[in-house]
Amino acid sequence: MSTDTRPAAPQHASPAAPRRPAPARRRRRRGNPLAGLGSLVWLVLVLVPLYTLVSASLMRQDEALNGDPLAFPTDPTLDNYGTVLDSGFLALLGNTAIVAVATVALVLVLSVPVAYVAVRTRSRLSSLAFRTFLLGVAIPAQAVIVPLYLLIGKMGLYDTLYAIILPTAAFSMPVAVLVLSGTMRDVSEEMYEAMSLDGASPFRMLWQLAVPLSKAGISTVAIFSALQAWNGFLFPLILTQSEENRVLTLGLFNFMSQFGVNIPAVLAAIVLSVVPIFAVYLVARRALVNGLMGVGGK
Amino acid sequence: MSHHTPAKRRGDRKAAVGNVGRPPVGWAVPGILFFAVFAIVPLAIAVYLSFCEWDGLNSPTPTGLDNWTRLFKDSEFGQAAWLSLLLTTISWAFQTPVALLLGVWAAGRQRSRAVLSAIFFIPLLLSTTAIAMLFHALLDPNFGVIKEIGPWIGVDPNVMGSSTGALLMVAFVGGWQFMPFHTLIYQGGARQIPEVLYQAASIDGAGMVRQFFHITLPQLRHTMTTSSVLMIVGSLTYFDTVLIMTKGGPGTDTTILPYLMYRTGFQTYDLGYAAAIATALVVVATGLSLILVRFSGFGSMRSTREGM
């Protein structure tokens, strides 16, 4: 998901995280034993499953089934990863990448104007639209899957990647509009006035003022919708069928029955599915973290 | 809508410039239409289909209130609705305190906290599918880690075989996945609390616990609403997790509404009845969110610091 790395440069901390003088904070937050202990417990709960995931994926099948699952693999092997790669893993990854990039592009192209209009105009229509999106946050995708099955079928899009991209983008839009209008509202009126005195068109104001100043919100939206696409399971499950249009999540699910009790291979598939996004995380951790923090509002 | 107030105020002030440079409302039309086609219209069709019989092949035929009378008599639906509420409540009660504590703790800027936060974030990188599959393997009574660790921490290795155990595990796995996200939300919220409040409180001699309950918690009110709405809508719709980890079992004891809808619609192809279940799901989800919004003033979620 190349889109994730682009938007937020590390130095531009999101408005959610204003720098404050460190010393005062350090004094205030020193030694909170309960939270400190709690975080250690949570650390164990996070690490044990992850450790087992990786270590068992390196085991041979009989060792994983009979041995101590917490022990180190006695004779680490990469065979399981070979099995997964031979089962069409890269094609799954390719499809997911296409879906993620297309979803992000579509969400941004559609949501930026909506948010801009919601912030910059005061008409009844724009406030109605804003409210609709606000309520849209609460519409669960499951609620519309039956009609979408009908609709996508009628549009002739059943079993194509479009069948995944279009609904995924639509269901990312409410959060996108909320986040974007939140950041765009912070662009000061004086700047718009200055630009309008220069005779700038509304489009130029959007493109040269509102968009550049909303980079934090835009990267939040890009990350959020990329993760939606990355994570999506229900739309692919119901709206696609053939192997050529299978995305990663559905592919993983199929590996589960295909590999059966070959648990190390199942685990290797899971590890491989994390590798691309983990790479993004290592490169652009701050952008990813600040981006998601932005979903919670400012 | 509170978001109008600042705009209006600014608008009056700049009356001299007028409406020059305001974007045409039409710019919003493509986005609104797109959202309408793939979210709003389907919602309306779902309601319509809930009054029809449809097998997915032939055309839907209207059957009046049949699906709905059936729904209210269907004990399986009753159980699914109850399990959904139960799962949502357990998830909320599990995630909120932990995420709140971790988030407030992680808001400090020490190096150690940054490192731990980076590790805590990792589950968020795995897809729901991957996580459900991982725990399906870990909790397998014959091959999973649970047979080693279970007795040690007082969990029956066959936890997935018991109704309560399976439901609790689904809630735990959901929490395992989404905790980092909610922790981040709280972390972001906690970093916005003005330092001066804490300084004033310590001058007044308030200890850490008092500061937490009298400053941190009230200041995080809106953050908590945001996070809770997302949690509730999220856990009402745990579907991948249930499909992969339990297939609704043992028996039907983890068959929550979305899974019942899936089974009815796409395994027995009774799509009209499935649409009725889906409609009921929306009513519950929107209802709960609206109550929460009313109850805590979500509309003003932007103005955490208003009046200071």
Residue A256 has pLDDT above 80, yes or no: yes
CATH assignment of the domain containing A275: 1.10.3720.10
Element (DSSP H or E) covering residue B24: none
CATH assignment of the domain containing B87: 1.10.3720.10
Q: What are phi and psi of B292, to 5 degrees?
A: -65, -40
> Residue B306: pLDDT band by 50, 70, 90 thresholds?
very low
The answer to whether residue A3 sits within a structural domain is no
Distance from CA of B125 to the nearest CA of A (A): 6
The answer to whether the CB atoms of A22 and B222 lie below 8 A apart is no
> Residue A201: pLDDT band by 50, 70, 90 thresholds?
confident
Mean pLDDT of chain A: 82
Residues A222 and A155 in one domain: yes
> Residue A49, preceding bond cis, omega within 30 degrees?
no
Annotate A240-294 with DSSP letters as a single string.
--SGGG--HHHHHHHHHHHHTT-HHHHHHHHHHHHHHHHHHHHHSHHHHHHHHHH
CB-based contact B135:A53 (threshold 8 Å): no
B111 shares contact with chain A (CB less than 8 Å)? no
Render pLDDT for B98-124 as a digit per residue (tens, 0 to 9): 999 888 888 877 777 888 888 888 898
Q: Which long-range contacts (CB under 8 A, 24 or more apart) does A82-88 make?
A: A83/A259, A83/A262, A83/A265, A83/A268, A84/A255, A84/A265, A84/A268, A84/A269, A84/A272, A85/A272, A87/A255, A87/A258, A87/A269, A88/A243, A88/A251
Residues A269 and A231 in one domain: yes
At B96, is the secondary structure helix, strand, or coil? helix
Residues A119 and A45 in one domain: no
What's residue A202's pLDDT?
A: 82
What's residue A12's pLDDT?
A: 39
The answer to whether residue B12 sits within a structural domain is no
Q: Secondary structure of B236-273 in the HEC alphabet?
A: HCCCHHHHHHCCCCCCCCCCCHHHHHHHHHHCCCCHHH
Interior CA angle at B143 toward B137 and B148, to 5°? Answer: 100
B8 shares contact with chain A (CB less than 8 Å)? yes
What's residue A31's pLDDT?
A: 54
Which of the two residues, B21 and A203, has the higher pLDDT score? A203
The count of structural domains within chain B is 1
Residues A64 and A116 in one domain: no
Rounded Cα distance between A110 and A205, Å, is 17
Task: Kindly list the residues from chain B whose CB atom is less than 8 angstroms away from the CB atom of residue A102.
Answer: none
Partner B, chain A 81-100, Cβ-Cβ below 8 Å: none
Residues A103 and A158 in one domain: yes
Q: Which residues contact B241 (CB under 8 A, 6 or more apart)?
A: B128, B131, B132, B170, B173, B174
The answer to whether residue A14 sits within a structural domain is no
Compute the average pLDDT of residues B278-307. Answer: 66
Task: Kindly list the residues from chain B whose CB atom is less than 8 angstroms away from the CB atom of residue A150.
Answer: 45, 49
The answer to whether residue A4 sits within a structural domain is no
Rounded Cα distance between B9 and B11, Å, is 5
B264 shares contact with chain A (CB less than 8 Å)? no
Residue B297 has pLDDT above 70, yes or no: no
What's residue A70's pLDDT?
A: 74
Task: Kindly list the residues from chain B whose CB atom is less than 8 angstroms away from the CB atom of residue A196.
Answer: 17, 20-21
The answer to whether the CB atoms of A144 and B46 lie below 8 A apart is yes
Identify which of B38, B123, B188 has the shortest CB distance to residue A167.
B38
- Cα A194 to Cα A114, A189, A209, distances in angstroms: 23, 9, 11
Angle between helices A145-154 and A162-184 in degrees, nearest 10: 120
The residue range of the domain holding B138 is 76-300
Q: Which residues contact A261 (CB under 8 A, 6 or more apart)?
A: A61, A65, B143
Residues A91 and A178 in one domain: yes
Distance from CA of B92 to the nearest CA of A (A): 16
Residue B4 has pLDDT above 70, yes or no: no
Of B186, B164, B172, B211, whose CA–CA distance to B93 is shortest?
A: B172
Partner A, chain B 15-44, Cβ-Cβ below 8 Å: 17, 20-25, 27-28, 30-32, 34-35, 37-43
Q: Which of A233-237, B16-20, B142-146 has the lowest mean pLDDT?
A: B16-20
Render pLDDT for B182-208 as a digit per residue (tens, 0 to 9): 998 898 888 888 888 888 888 888 888
Render pLDDT for B249-276 as a digit per residue (tens, 0 to 9): 788 899 999 999 999 999 999 999 999 9
Coarse DSSP helix, strand, coil percentages of chain A, rounded to the nearest 5 percent: 75, 0, 25
The count of structural domains within chain A is 2
The answer to whether residue A16 sits within a structural domain is no
The residue range of the domain holding A67 is 32-77
A15 shares contact with chain B (CB less than 8 Å)? no
